[in-house]
Amino acid sequence: MDLSIIIVTWNSQEFIRNCLDSIFLSQGNISSEVILVDNGSSDQTAKIVEEFYPQVNLIQNKKNLGYAKANNQGIEEAKGKYILLLNPDTQVLEDALSLMYEFMQENPEAGTLGPKLLNLDKSVQPSCREFPTFSTLVWEFSGLSRLFPKSKIFGRWRMGYFDFDKTREVDQPMGSCLMLRRETLEDMGIFDENFVMFFNDVDLCYRIKKKGWKIYFYPESKVIHSKGASTRKAKAKMIWLSHLAFYKFFKKYKTDLINRVLLFLFLIPLIFSAWVRILFFYLGKPRSWVDVIIHPNTEG
């Protein structure tokens, strides 16, 4: 088996047929399997898959176990040389899968590969970030990252200066579509389930880099992504989980005394930011000034 494609769904009935159809049209001559893990959907997602896609290996959880745990379920079932993690709100274009497969075959140092993501109107969707640091928090809280998005200092985390037309090594492509080498997963392990919804892809890529593997962005392969399709259905909870995941990431890797102190100092602003965003969400008010306060990617 060349490729195992793992899709985690939660109330994804409006997207899943387009996603699966695009997969079967774009895989070329590579042998593949699709493993779909449904996280306790209350809609018709699982029924649609059962009825129209009998070739899909469907795993149905009775409740939502979180993105990380569900992906780990899929990874344990996977038989492929490569594993593709794919969101259900995506459409794989043309020969995207075969192009990614060929790139991994030709670049044995590559542990992970991310394609170019496109919005529904085919415009480029920013999909790469550098690993966050405490300076990231400073630039986000101060609003300097918004004022100078293309700065390699203030806009470093969001990479507003990034050229999405060039293949290059990166820190972290968005987890909406990631191809992983099986040897890489065997080397560094599967998803950390403490990151239930957010930052699990950041943590995964961070560990991959620490093990010496390279991570690439590959624009020749293109995937449409309806950003935030699932998270919008429980927006307030997603806002809180995104901020909590940011904190957990720093707590996991910034373990010396100085960094612990810095983390404590940033804890109150993080909590304040989360609750302000939740309040504005419920009030339905414009968030122009809130946008200069930190908000991790709650749309991905």
Domain ranges for the chain, please list them: 3-127+164-227, 129-159, 232-292
* Strand duo 214-225 + 168-169: pairing: antiparallel
Question: What pTM value is reported for the model?
Answer: 0.84
At 11-52, the pLDDT tens digits run: 999 999 999 999 998 877 899 999 999 999 999 999 999 999
The domain 3-127+164-227 having CATH identifier 3.40.50.2300: the answer here is: no
> Does the pLDDT at position 188 exceed 80?
yes
> Does the pLDDT at position 74 exceed 90?
yes
19 to 3, 54, 96, 236: CA distances (angstroms) = 16, 15, 13, 26
Q: So what's the pLDDT on residue 133? A: 86
At 196-221, the pLDDT tens digits run: 778 899 999 999 999 999 999 999 99
Burial category of 55 from C-beta neighbours within 10 Å (exposed 0-12, middle 13-18, buried 19 and up): exposed
Taking all residues of the chain, what is their mean pLDDT, rounded to a whole number?
Answer: 87
- Per mean pLDDT, which of 102-116, 127-141, 189-203 is the most reliable? 102-116
At position 291, the amino acid (one-letter code) is D
